[in-house]
Amino acid sequence: MNEAIPQKDFGDLLARNRRKKRARNAAVLAVKYTVMALLAVFLLFPYIFMVSKSLMDLVDANAAVPLLFPKSGVYFSNYKVFFEYWPYFRNSLVVVLINGVFIPLTGFMAAYPFARRQFKGKKIMFSVMMSTVMLPGAVTMVPTYVMFNSFGLVDNLASQWVTAFFGGGAMNIFLMIQFLRAIPKDYDNAATIDGANMLQIFLYIMIPMCKNVLLFIGISTVIGRWSDFQGPLIYLTSLENMTVAVAFYTQFSSSGAAAIFSNAKMAMAVCMTVLPMVLFLIFQKQMIGGIKIGGLKG
């Protein structure tokens, strides 16, 4: 017969196992945090380098051996470039404000009947809409330019926000449809019994319940349009109509005297990153949660 393990030895064995488990967990946690810290430094280094360059004078900024920190003092005067470029920042703010408000709103208006109503031709219309996702942007670029030119929208800031009144693209509408399908239709039925019409259901029930997906699409649109380069480059030719991204490229091109002003270029780049960074810090919960939106099932 096996002899029973004394209670004292059994307690010591449990204590040793607990200590080993805690030590193993602590080691794993230390490795995880070390890897995360190294990854954070790796990802943040370009931004830190950019901010540091923006605070240098011309000598330090254009030194043969790149400097990580200013040697000759900190020069906040480099940020006067923001006031010089304020007209272009204003143009970009107009573009992102209109797109950020009306793309989620009109997209939601288009998604609502697909998700909550039945009508003839619904499946065909939905298939045609989603088929546009497979069209490469290069295919539609020339026809869109010809159409905008015939409407007088070339070299007009309206070319950057007029499409916001047409849903903002099939993918945005699809995301909203998926979100709406996840909401039980009992809400619609209860509101209908209480005497609410379709417009009231849309305004007072559906929009408040879908604020997360609306915020996600709105903030994503603002960040994307703020740094958009291709669209303004194609349609805007006059300097006074340019958005900040194209004006930045035009004024600080890779050739000419402006090319050496790396401190001013870095200051301008820092100014351009402020809006997306602030929006993400404020709405990071909605932005991260928005990744799950596409996986919702109706």
Same domain assignment for residues 16 and 104: no
**Residue 90: per-residue pLDDT:** 93
The owner of tokens 């499946």 is 123
**Residue 105: per-residue pLDDT:** 92
Q: Give a yes or no: residue 232 inside a domain.
A: yes
Domain boundary among 58, 77, 96: 77
Residue 277: give its domain's CATH number.
1.10.3720.10
Domain boundary among 77, 100, 119: 77
**Residue 259: per-residue pLDDT:** 54
Q: Can you tell me the distance from the alpha carbon of 112 to that of 221, in angstroms, rounded to the nearest whole number?
A: 20
Write the burial class of residue 195 (CB in 10 Å: 0-12 exposed, 13-18 middle, 19+ buried).
exposed
Q: Give a yes or no: residue 271 inside a domain.
A: yes
pTM over 0.85: no
Same domain assignment for residues 102 and 71: no
Q: What is the DSSP string of 272-283?
A: HHHHHHHHHHHS
Q: Can you tell me the distance from the alpha carbon of 88 to that of 50, in angstroms, rounded to the nearest whole number?
A: 21
Number of domains in the chain: 2
Does residue 109 contact residue 177 with C-beta atoms inside 8 Å? no
Same domain assignment for residues 131 and 171: yes
Domain boundary among 77, 106, 121: 77
For residue 29, what are the domain limits? 7-77
Same domain assignment for residues 161 and 220: yes
Same domain assignment for residues 121 and 171: yes
Q: Which residues contact 5 (CB under 8 A, 6 or more apart)?
A: 13
Same domain assignment for residues 265 and 133: yes
Q: Between the CA atoms of 203, 178, 217 and 286, what dihedral angle is there, to the nearest 10 degrees?
A: 90
**Residue 209: per-residue pLDDT:** 87
Same domain assignment for residues 148 and 270: yes
The pLDDT profile of the chain, 298 residues, written as one tens digit per residue, is 445 555 556 567 677 777 778 888 888 889 999 999 999 889 888 888 889 888 888 887 877 787 888 888 888 888 888 888 899 999 999 999 999 999 999 999 999 989 888 888 888 999 998 888 888 888 888 999 999 999 999 999 999 999 999 888 888 899 889 888 888 888 888 888 888 888 888 888 888 888 888 888 999 899 989 988 988 999 998 888 999 989 888 877 655 555 556 788 888 889 999 998 898 888 877 776 655 554 444 4
Q: What does the buried/exposed string (b/e) look like for 95-124 if buried means 16 or more CB atoms within 10 Å of the residue's CB?
A: bbebbbebbbbbbbebbbbbbbeeeeeeee
